[in-house]
């Protein structure tokens, strides 16, 4: 009799691997973004206006919004790249972390924080592999697989 929760051993690691590879790929980009956001938080916060919004792509076609901002005090024009759902929250005056170099990307003070996405993309595969290796050593699991 096949147990109702029968999970063959070989497809299980294949499915986990199929989840792990894209998660680590996305997690690497989001970890890079998180490091940039954390560095920018040490920079002074200035106010500005949204001048223009354009659609752009990054990371093999991920749709993003590129906001062109004009700083209020000195009139410098800078840019910020955000996910579309985050960019939709901003209209009118905004606050952003600005280094003084108009060629560098700025990060909005109330923008997104990718820490939860980084934790999710690295945590889920780690949890799945941990469960897989613990179950694989379990005699009950080996009995179900046979």
- The pLDDT tens digits of the residues spanning 132-141 come to 888 777 777 6
Q: Which of 129, 121, 112, 115 is nearest to 28 (CA)?
A: 121
pTM of the full structure: 0.72
Higher model confidence: residue 107 or residue 9? 107
pLDDT at position 79, please? Answer: 92
pLDDT at position 70, please? Answer: 93
Helix (H) or strand (E) segment spanning residue 70: strand 62-71
Task: Give tens-digit pLDDT for 34-91.
Answer: 999 999 989 999 999 999 999 888 767 778 889 999 998 888 899 998 888 888 888 8
Strands 93-97 and 62-71: unpaired
Asked whether the predicted pLDDT for residue 20 surpasses 90, the reply is: yes
Buried b (16+ CB within 10 A) or exposed e, 59-71: eeeeebbbbebeb
pLDDT average, residue stretch 7-19: 73
């Amino acid at each position: 009799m096949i147990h109702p929760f029968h999970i063959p051993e070989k497809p299980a690691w294949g499915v986990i691997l199929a989840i792990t590879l894209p998660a680590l790929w996305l997690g690497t980009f989001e970890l890079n973004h998180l490091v940039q956001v954390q560095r920018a938080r040490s920079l002074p916060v200035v106010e500005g206006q949204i001048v223009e919004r354009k659609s752009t792509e990054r990371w093999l076609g991920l749709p993003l919004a590129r906001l062109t901002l004009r700083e209020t005090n000195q009139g410098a024009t800078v840019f910020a790249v955000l996910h579309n759902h985050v960019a939709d929250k901003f209209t009118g005056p905004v606050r952003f972390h600005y280094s003084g170099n108009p060629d560098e990307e700025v990060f909005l003070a109330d923008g997104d924080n990718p820490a939860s996405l980084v934790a999710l993309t690295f945590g889920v595969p780690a949890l799945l592999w941990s469960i897989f290796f613990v179950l694989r050593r379990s005699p009950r699991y080996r009995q179900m697989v046979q």
